């Protein structure tokens, strides 16, 4: 497996993030393409060439683009807009020598209802478009269990919508073990996020045992917070179980570090790189 990082997690701008990733020996980067300088409407042919040169000259590739517009696909009228916007992100990804666009589609209902059918229609259209260009939209895990997501993907009848597997989202948001979720969605995984965290209500008695960052999480829970992202190895993702289970699905792609919080993201990412290298060596995941 290969190690990547979200370029935004460095908080150094695109070029600075790429250069820092390269200095850590990371092999790939993921970047947002829904706003800012990498949004499709801002990416002229010259800008595409410049962006690719920044990445390739630093010895990296795009592991994926992030095409999450923050709306999901649960509203039929809005879907007409965001399905087309998503297609343009995938078109850009292909120009950047990348075949994966990650996204959030909203929470898939467990039961059959109108919302689920609206989501299915949008995702089927995205899947068919991705199939036509030899790429994939990868749904990020977390809002629902692996079983619910797997059954939904099975119902699409097209392979172009797949999975961006985020183990922390599963434990933080729906109390689903990553290794169990892989039984249902392992065949769909084309990209992953390397992230860790806890569901607060499960760890309220363990505040002082899980690192400085989490000491106040009882107070956070009382304020309505439901989960807490933590550095790799400090949360409830058991990487010694999860990574071998991931490898058993046949996946051999990127473990892309995502660090959305914390006061020193560069240091946290460096720790995560070393953590993942140890696990890759330990379980012979090269």
Kindly report, residue by residue over 144-177, the tens digit of the pLDDT.
999 999 999 999 988 999 999 999 999 999 999 9
**CA–CA distance, 165 with 140 (Å, rounded to integer):** 6
Tokens read off for 154: 């099975």
Q: In this predicted structure, what is the pLDDT of residue 204?
A: 52
Distance CA 80, CA 77 (A): 6
| Both tokens assigned to 152 | 């939904």
| Cα separation, 65 vs 224, whole angstroms | 32
pLDDT score recorded for residue 208: 37
pLDDT tens sequence across 21-45: 999 999 999 999 999 999 999 999 9
pLDDT of 203 reads 58
pLDDT score at 71: 86
pLDDT of residue 225: 62
Give the predicted TM-score (pTM) of the model: 0.92
Strand partners, 194: 257
Low-confidence ranges of the chain (pLDDT < 50): 206-210, 214-215, 217, 220-221, 223-224
Q: What is the pLDDT of residue 220?
A: 45
Beta-carbon count within 10 A of 217 CB:
21
Contact by Cβ (8 Å): 257, 194: yes
């Amino acid at each position: 497996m290969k190690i990547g990082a979200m370029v935004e997690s460095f908080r150094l701008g695109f070029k600075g993030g790429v250069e820092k990733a390269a200095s850590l020996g990371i092999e790939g980067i993921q970047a947002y393409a829904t706003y800012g300088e990498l949004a499709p409407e801002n990416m002229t042919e010259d800008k595409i060439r410049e962006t690719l040169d920044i990445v390739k000259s630093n010895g990296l590739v795009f592991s994926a683009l992030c095409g999450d517009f923050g709306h999901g696909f649960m509203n039929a009228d809005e879907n007409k807009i965001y399905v087309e916007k998503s297609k343009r992100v995938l078109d850009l990804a292909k120009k950047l020598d990348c075949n994966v666009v990650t996204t959030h589609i909203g929470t898939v209902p467990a039961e059959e209802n109108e919302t689920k059918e609206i989501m299915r229609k949008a995702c089927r259209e995205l899947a068919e478009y991705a199939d036509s260009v030899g790429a994939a939209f990868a749904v990020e895990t977390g809002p629902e269990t692996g079983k619910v997501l797997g059954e939904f993907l099975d119902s699409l009848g097209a392979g172009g919508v797949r999975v961006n597997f985020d183990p922390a989202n599963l434990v933080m948001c729906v109390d689903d073990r990553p290794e169990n979720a892989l039984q249902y969605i392992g065949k769909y995984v084309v990209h992953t996020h390397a992230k860790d965290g806890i569901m607060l209500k499960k760890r309220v008695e363990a505040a002082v045992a899980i690192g400085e960052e989490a000491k106040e999480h009882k107070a956070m829970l009382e304020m309505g917070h439901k989960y807490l992202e933590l550095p790799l190895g400090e949360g409830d993702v058991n990487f010694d179980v999860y990574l071998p289970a991931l490898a058993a699905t046949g996946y051999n792609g990127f473990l892309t570090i995502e660090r959305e919080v914390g006061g020193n993201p560069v240091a946290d990412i460096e720790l995560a790189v070393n953590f993942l290298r140890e696990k890759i060596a330990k379980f012979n995941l090269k």
